[in-house]
Structure 1
Amino acid sequence: MKSFLIIVLCISVTCTTLAQKPKAVEAMKNETAASIQSDYDTYKELALEIWDYAELGYKENQSSALLARTLEENGFAVETGVAGMPTSFVATYGSGSPVIGVLAEYDALPGISQDNTPTRSPVDGKSNGQACGHHLFGAAAVATGIAIKQHLESGKLKGTIRVYGTPAEEGGNGKSYMVRAGLFNDVDAVLHWHPWDKTGVIGTSTLANKTAKFRFHGIASHAAVAPENGRSALDGVEAMNAMVNMMREHVPQESRIHYVITSGGEAPNVVPEYAEVFYYVRHPKKDVVQSIFERIVKAAEGAALGTETSMDYEIISGSHDLLINNTLAENMNTNLQRVGGVIYSEEDKNFAKTLQESFLKKAPDVSDAAQIYPTGSLPLSGSTDVGDVSYMVPTVGLLIATWVPGTSPHSWQAVACGGTDIGIKGMMVAAKTMALTAIDLFTQPKLLVDAKEEFIEAKGDYVYKALLGDRQPPLDYRD
C-alpha cells in the first residue's frame, strides 16, 4: 500500500508539472502533425513500394526488410526474426518508462491482383494484392514511430517508443506468437489502426476465432472393381461436415463456422485415400470459440469412427476477441477530431465515381470519407490478432477511410485505392492521430494509470493463453 501511495504521489506531482505546460504540449502536437505531413512523399513512396511487393503472410521478406531498414536508418535499434518468424521485427528507441508500442502490418492477400486504376485490371504476372491495406498500416506505424523518436531525441519526451513488425495477420496470427513470446510484457500501451471505408475510433470488439485443418486417412481402391476394399477419406470429411452443419442449430447465434474442402481425392473412380477440410470457428467470446471447437473435434472423431478412417488435425491459428479500452479510445477520438477526416481532391472524386460503377449496390457519397464517426459506431465483424495484444496491454485503435466509401476490404477496389493518393491520405490521418495520442501517453501519466485500471478490471482474473496452443508459426501456410 505504501509503494502504491508513492506511485500515486509521483504521478500527481508529474501531472501538476505537466499541467503548467499545456502550451508546450500543444506546440509539440502541431509540430508533429506538420512534420508528418511534410514527409508525405517519403511515406507515400514507402507504402507504394510495399503495395507493389504484395507479399503473402510469412513471405514478406522485402516489405519487412524495408520497414525495418527505414526505422534503423532513423536511429532505432532493430531486432529481426523474433518469436520464430523470419519476417517479424521489433524496433526500439529510447529507454525507461513509459513504453509505448505501435503495431505494423504488411502482408497481402492471394488472388486479388489489381493495378491502381478504377476499373478491373489485374497486373500481368502478379496474383497477390494489398486488398486490406496493410502496406498503409505498416508505413503509418513507421511514420508514427519516427515522429515520436524525434521528440525523444530532442529531450521533449522521455521514455521508449517501440514499433512491432507483425507478419501474417491474414490467417497467420503473427501477433499471437509475439504475445506468447513475451514481447509485450513491459509495454504500457499499444496503438494500432486499420484501413477501412469510413473513419472512427474502434469502440466495439472483434470476433475471437480458432482455425484448424482436419485430415482424414482411408484406404485407396478401385471404386467400381473393388469398392468394398476401400475406406473413403472423403466420406470422413463429408460425414464430419454433415454433423457440424447439424450442430449449427445448437450453438449461440453469434457463432460463425466456415469450412472449405481443401483436398477431396484425385479421381472419381479411385476411393480417396486422403482428404482434408479447413475450418474456422468464430464468436465474440474466446471461451465460446474454444467450446465450439472442441465439439467440432468430436464430430471429426465420430466421422472417422463411422467411416472406418483415421483422423488427425492441425491448429492453424487462433486469436482473442478485442478488449476495448474506453479510456484510451476517448483520448484517441479527441486527437482524431483534431487531425480531421480524409479530404478528396477533384481527381480523387473522379476516380471514386468511376470505381463506384463496379459496386453491386449503391455507394454512399464520396464526401463520406471526410466524416468522423462516433467511437464504437463502426462495428467489426471479423477477427484480428490484435485481440491477443489487447489481453496483455491496454490497446487502442482506429479505422481510417483509405478506400472509397462503400468498398469492402479484400476486394480489387481496395487494392486500387491503396495504390493512389486516396489510400495515402488516409494513411497520413492515421499516422498523425497515433502520434498525437502517443504524445498524450508520454505527457499524461494519469492517462496511463486510468487505462491500466480499466484494463485490469475488464480482463478480470483471466490469464492469457494462446488459442493456437504451443504450435510454432506456420511459415508455410500460404504454400
Structure 2
Amino acid sequence: MKRIFLSKLLIISLFLLNFCFSQKNKKEIHESIERRTKEYEDIAKSIWNWAELGYQEEKSSALLKETLSDEGFSIKSGVAEIPTAFVAEYGSGRPIIGILAEFDALPGISQEVATKRKPILDQVGGHACGHHLFGTASTAAAIAVKKYLNESKKKGTVRLYGTPAEEGGSGKVYMVRAGLFDDVDIVLDWHASDRNAANPGTSMANRSAKFRFHGYSAHAAGAPEKGRSALDAVEAMNHMVNLMREHIPDGSRIHYVITRGGNAPNVVPDFAEVFYYVRDFNVDILEDIWSRVLKTAEGAALGTGTRLEYEIIHGNRPVLANDVAQQIMYNNLKTIGGIDYDRKEKKFANEIYKTLRNPNLDLESASEVQPYGFRKGKGSTDVGDVSWMVPTARLRVATWVPGTSAHTWQAVSAGGMSIGMKGMVNAAKVIAGTAFDLYNDPEAIKNAKKELIERRGPKFNYYSLLGERNPPLDYRK
C-alpha cells in the first residue's frame, strides 16, 4: 500500500514539475516579446504610415521579410505569382505550425491619430482593419517561437505566411491553390477588433466580379437612336438584382457599386462597369445566387443591345471552425487577458466612444475576455479557404475602442496609437503561447486534424471560388 502511495506521489510530483517547467517556458516566450515592444511598435507604425493597398504592399512586405530574415528565417518571396507574398520558415521536422500575417490597407479612409474625422492629405489608404498590427504581431510571435525552438532544441517548424490583399484580393486563396499549405499541421490566425475573443465560428463565403458593358456612343440629344447605352445596361442589371432580393434566403447578401458610368450627360456612354459582391454562409447557396446574378447581366446586355464581359475579382470560402485548436487559443487568451487603459488612453477612448453610432459594448469590455461560444460572423475572409485545408484557430484582440466597427476612421485612429499597440503585443503573446502548447501536445494536433476531416464531410473536394484566374495585381489601381 505504501509503495502504491509513493508511486502516485511520484507521478503527481513529475506532473507538477513538468507543468511548472512549461509555464516557465511560456513566461519566457511572453517576456521575449515584451522586451522588443518598442521595435515592434516602430514596425507597426511604419506599416500604418505607408498604408499600402492590396498587392501593392512593397514596403510593408519588405520590412517584415527583413525582420524575419535577420532572425535566421529562410524566406521565399513572390510565392503564388504574387510579388508581395512570402513564406518565412525556421526549424525542422514536425509539427509545422503556420502563422498568418496580413499587411494591406483599405482605400479612401486615411486618418490621423485623432478623436474626430481628420483625413491625411495626399494619402490614398488607411489601416481601417488593423492589418499593420496583424502582420507585426504575427511576426513577433513567430520570432518568439523561433527563440523557444532554438533554445529548447525542440523538434518542429514555425512558418509565417505573408499574405497580401485580404481586402477583396483573396491573396490566401492563391496561396492555397499553389499548395503552400499542403504540409502544415495547424494554422494560427488573429485579427484586430473591438473585443478580446477566441471563439469557434464561421464567416460568409464571398465572390465578386466586375461586370463591363460595351455599347455605342452618340450625341444624347442630336442622335440618341444611334447610341446603345452601356449605363442603361448597368441600371437594368441593378434593377433586376434588386427585384431578385425578395427571392433569396434571408441570410444572403448582395452589394454593388457603379465604378464607371460615363463622362458627360450629353454623350451616350459606350462603356460602363458595375462591381458586385455576393455572400452566403453556404457555398452551394452562393453558387445558385451567383448564377442568377449572371443571368441578370446577360439579360441586361441583351435588352439594351450592348455587349457583356465580366471578370471574377475574388472568392472566399466560409471559415470552418475547429474546436480542438480553438480551445487552446482561448485558454491562452484567458491567461493574457484584455487591455488596460492608462489615463491618457481612457480620455482618448471616451472621446472616440462619443463618435460611435449605437456601440454594442461598453468601454470597460476592453479589459475583458468574451465568453467562449460559437460565433457567426457576417464578414468574409480568405482565411476561410485555409481553414478548409488545415485546422485553423482564430483570435480577436481589442486594438480598437470597444464598439468600433472595422473599416472606419475610428479604427484607423486607435490602431495608430498606444491602444492598438497594446492589443498587438497581447495578440503576439497569445499566438506564441498557443504555438508553444501545440508543440508540446501532439495529441491535440492529431485531434484537430480529425475534427477538420469530420467537419468537411466525406464528399468534400476543394475548388477555388475564383476559378483559374491569376492574381488581380492591379485590382486597386
How far did 1:118 drift? 1.9
**Of 316-325 and 306-315, the range deviating more from structure 2:** 306-315
Distance 1:284 1:234, change over 3 A: same
Deviations 1:397-433 (A, max 9, x none): 1111001111111111111111111001111111111
Contact map agreement 1:200 1:378 (CA 8 A) in 2: no
2:434 alignment partner in structure 1: 437
Distance 1:432 1:64, change over 3 A: same
User: Percentage identity across aligned positions?
Assistant: 54
**Of 115-124 and 81-90, the range deviating more from structure 2:** 115-124
2:146 alignment partner in structure 1: 149
SS in 2 for 1:278: strand
How far did 1:22 drift? 2.7
Contact map agreement 1:344 1:367 (CA 8 A) in 2: no
SS in 2 for 1:225: coil
Q: Which residue identity does 2:474 align to in structure 1?
A: D
The TM-score, its normalising length taken from structure 1, stands at: 0.94
Q: Does 1:41 align with 2:44?
A: no
1-side partners of 2:97 and 2:118: how far apart?
A: 41
1-side partners of 2:444 and 2:153: how far apart?
A: 18
How far did 1:319 drift? 0.3
Q: Does 1:237 align with 2:256?
A: no
**Aligned alpha-carbon RMSD (Å):** 1.5
Deviations 1:339-380 (A, max 9, x none): 111111111101111222322336743221011001246542
SS in 1 for 2:123: coil
Contact map agreement 2:202 2:375 (CA 8 A) in 1: no
Q: Does 1:473 align with 2:475?
A: no
**Of 372-381 and 168-177, the range deviating more from structure 2:** 372-381
How far did 1:309 drift? 1.1
1:455 alignment partner in structure 2: 452
Q: How does 1:134-145 map to 2 (within 5 A)?
A: 134-145=131-142
1:323 alignment partner in structure 2: 320
Say which of 287, 295, 300 aligns to 2:297. 300
Contact map agreement 2:206 2:315 (CA 8 A) in 1: yes
Q: Which residue identity does 2:263 align to in structure 1?
A: E
SS in 1 for 2:243: helix
Deviations 1:14-33 (A, max 9, x none): xxx99983332221111111
Q: Does 1:342 align with 2:362?
A: no
Q: Does 1:203 align with 2:200?
A: yes
1-side partners of 2:177 and 2:121: how far apart?
A: 40
**Of 28-37 and 59-68, the range deviating more from structure 2:** 28-37
1-side partners of 2:92 and 2:279: how far apart?
A: 39
Distance 1:328 1:363, change over 3 A: closer
2:393 alignment partner in structure 1: 396
Distance 1:186 1:412, change over 3 A: same
1-side partners of 2:242 and 2:151: how far apart?
A: 61
2-side partners of 1:392 and 1:378: how far apart?
A: 20
2-side partners of 1:156 and 1:451: how far apart?
A: 25
2:88 alignment partner in structure 1: 91
Q: Does 1:408 align with 2:418?
A: no
1:165 alignment partner in structure 2: 162
Say which of 285, 308, 311 aligns to 1:311. 308
2-side partners of 1:200 and 1:67: how far apart?
A: 26
Contact map agreement 2:95 2:156 (CA 8 A) in 1: yes
Q: Which residue identity does 2:224 align to in structure 1?
A: P
2-side partners of 1:427 and 1:94: how far apart?
A: 25
2-side partners of 1:362 and 1:65: how far apart?
A: 37
Deviations 1:41-77 (A, max 9, x none): 1111111111111111111100000001000000100
2:67 alignment partner in structure 1: 70
1:223 alignment partner in structure 2: 220
2:22 alignment partner in structure 1: 25
2-side partners of 1:168 and 1:18: how far apart?
A: 46
Q: Which residue identity does 1:250 align to in structure 2?
A: H
Say which of 418, 431, 453 aligns to 2:415. 418
The TM-score, its normalising length taken from structure 2, stands at: 0.94
1:11 alignment partner in structure 2: none
2-side partners of 1:87 and 1:206: how far apart?
A: 26
Distance 1:43 1:378, change over 3 A: farther
1:54 alignment partner in structure 2: 51
1:8 alignment partner in structure 2: none
1:381 alignment partner in structure 2: 378
Contact map agreement 2:192 2:399 (CA 8 A) in 1: yes
2:179 alignment partner in structure 1: 182
Q: Which residue identity does 1:401 align to in structure 2?
A: A
2-side partners of 1:362 and 1:165: how far apart?
A: 33
Contact map agreement 2:359 2:402 (CA 8 A) in 1: no
Contact map agreement 1:199 1:372 (CA 8 A) in 2: yes
Contact map agreement 1:90 1:165 (CA 8 A) in 2: yes
SS in 1 for 2:446: helix
2-side partners of 1:361 and 1:224: how far apart?
A: 48
Gaps of 5+ in 2: 1-13
2-side partners of 1:377 and 1:387: how far apart?
A: 16
Q: Which residue identity does 1:287 align to in structure 2?
A: D
Contact map agreement 2:163 2:172 (CA 8 A) in 1: yes
2:244 alignment partner in structure 1: 247
Distance 1:18 1:165, change over 3 A: farther
Contact map agreement 1:157 1:443 (CA 8 A) in 2: no
Contact map agreement 1:356 1:363 (CA 8 A) in 2: no
2-side partners of 1:379 and 1:452: how far apart?
A: 22
Contact map agreement 1:64 1:106 (CA 8 A) in 2: yes
SS in 2 for 1:287: helix
2-side partners of 1:19 and 1:379: how far apart?
A: 38
SS in 1 for 2:172: helix
Contact map agreement 2:203 2:379 (CA 8 A) in 1: yes
1:213 alignment partner in structure 2: 210
1-side partners of 2:127 and 2:160: how far apart?
A: 21
Contact map agreement 2:359 2:404 (CA 8 A) in 1: no
SS in 2 for 1:201: coil
1:14 alignment partner in structure 2: none
How far did 1:201 drift? 0.6
Distance 1:362 1:29, change over 3 A: closer
**Of 111-120 and 400-409, the range deviating more from structure 2:** 111-120
2-side partners of 1:145 and 1:195: how far apart?
A: 18
Q: Which residue identity does 2:117 align to in structure 1?
A: R
1:3 alignment partner in structure 2: none
2:285 alignment partner in structure 1: 288
Distance 1:180 1:159, change over 3 A: same
Q: Does 1:270 align with 2:292?
A: no
